Amino acid sequence: MDERKRALIAENVDDECIKLLKTELDVDVELKMSREELLDKIGNYDALIVRSATKVDEELFSRAKKLKVVGRAGKGIDNIDIDQATQRGVVVANTPEGNIMSACELAIGLLLAQARNITYADSFLKSGKWDRKRFKGVEVYNKTLGIIGLGKIGSLVAERMASFGMKIIAYDPYISDERFQRFGAEKKETLDELLAEADFITIHTPKTKETTNMIGKREIEKMKKGVRIVNAARGGIINERDLLEGLKSGKVAGAGLDVHEEEPSYNNPLFELNNVVVTPHIGASTVEAQQNVGVTIAKQVLNALKGEIVQNAVNLPTLNREELKTLKPYIELMEKLGKIYYQLYNDPAELVDIHYYGDIASEDIEMITVAFIKGLLDPIIKEHVNYVNAKLLAGQRGIIINENKNPDSYNGYTDLIKVKIKNKKETFTLAGNLSSKKEGKLVELMGYEVDVNPSQHMLFIQNMDVPGVIGNIGTVLGKEGVNIATMQVGRDKRGEKALMVLNVDDDISRKTLTNVTQIDNILWARAVKL
């Protein structure tokens, strides 16, 4: 029986995370460890789960000889050395979608609270006073909402505020036109266009060099008088000094801020204004968000330890749910097909050309390429290769990897992935696609057309195309107790070389292979395990 792998939880996570991990792992929860204790113990663990406080750096990785995955229960990864993780083949996964609904709803709450002076009226009434006149607000109905950043959270806000009767406009230079159409947002080509038209502005972009101080004095001057602003994304995207000026001058009628330039934030002059609604960075602070984050990170840690796809691995191409649904069958197929080469050839691969044809060429195919390279190296370096380090290890072995996209069909296939692997002597080719049932198929090998669903145990045989060979193979395998599930034969011309591909139910022994190769007109036979 395989020894159960071990996970260390170093910071607080939801109980559902711990429960799920314990179904397959031995889990230790150590929330008050010192740095020295963590460094002493980390060598015993296959997985580490943290939030933002634990420093996962080169020093820690150097002690973590067994570590396969670091799970960040949250979005930010500033505390994790991604380069070191990648070099050591450690998957780093986070949960960027676990709290998106909570962040969306808080942004909407901040928008509505300032529009109707809800927090000011609440504190005023609780202080023992009554005055209805000072709390005159504005409706959001028939107003224009400008969304800066139409990603996951921005698009959720767009959908929901459209139901309030708002006109939705958005600015995001990194989002396709199709996404604007899908979420009913009118695309603005420049930020200035959005600023000039919006009655309300809400920000949903990451904080980068480009977006730091994105909204300052110049931008506020371009806004409508009486504009209202929400920032539940990251502190520092709005210049707080310039926002304070805009609020005091009346150019900005109100602001809702969950994030701040400095956190924790104390004695901020913005907090003194009654038309500013503030919260202490609580966008993810809901029961549901914390459960989602906990369950999501647990699932990703388990997938990483089993060598499966980790949807939100930050040192891998990321896949959203729709992309994963489309690409997962290709990823699984190409990893299997990658394993074939080194089980048929001993010559080191020098060049891998992967050609994507048809609709698949329009997708983000990087993860499919990674999967093929992982499969390619698996027979020769086994547990040392994973999705994270596959390309790195290929480069260290001098393997050049090329990707080519062609939207046209190929040889009658509307979708096809064709691979050419060159060594010093020759070029090996194979191709795969999906059936109508979305099952992966091997459709070409070494120039021979076949139609095979790859299975765990396979037998590849090259023979002369003469009568009796197939029958003799069946007889030998039958005597050896090998059950044939399916058999495919590919050939160019009658009487010349042919290729047989057999799916069998069990592993093929060396003795069985020897007996097969001794059959008349058999050129070679190889057992392949996928």
Which has the closest alpha carbon to 376: 350, 403, 410? Answer: 350
Catalytic annotation present for 37 = no
Residue type, 416: L
Give the distance, in angstroms, between the CA of residue 124 and the centroid of all CA atoms in the same chain: 47
Out of 88, 228, 281, 457, the active site residue is 281
Out of 72, 204, 228, 234, the active site residue is 234
Which DSSP string do the residues of 164-232 spell out, in sequence order? TT-EEEEE-TTS-HHHHHHTT-EE-SSHHHHHHH-SEEEE-----TTTTT-BSHHHHHTSPTTEEEEE-
Out of 30, 59, 221, 263, the active site residue is 263
Residue 131 near residue 138, CB atoms below 8 Å:
no
- Token couple for 146: 């400008």
- Look at residue 472 and give its three-state secondary structure: helix
Catalytic annotation present for 178 = no
**214: alpha, beta or left? (left if phi > 0; alpha if psi -120 to 50):** alpha
Element (H, E) at 243: helix 240-249
Using CA atoms, how far apart are residues 403 and 391, in angstroms rounded to an integer? 13
Q: How far apart are the first and last CA of the chain?
A: 22
> Which residues lie below 8 Å from residue 7, measured CB to CB, with a gap of 6+?
21, 25, 26, 27, 28, 45, 46, 47, 48, 49, 301
- Which residue bears the tokens 């990087």? 366
Sheet bearing 351-358, strands edge to edge = 400-406, 351-358, 415-422, 427-434, 440-445, 448-452
Catalytic annotation present for 234 = yes
Partnered with residue 417 across adjacent β-strands are 356, 432
Using CA atoms, how far apart are residues 91 and 70, in angstroms rounded to an integer? 6
- Catalytic residue set: 234, 263, 281
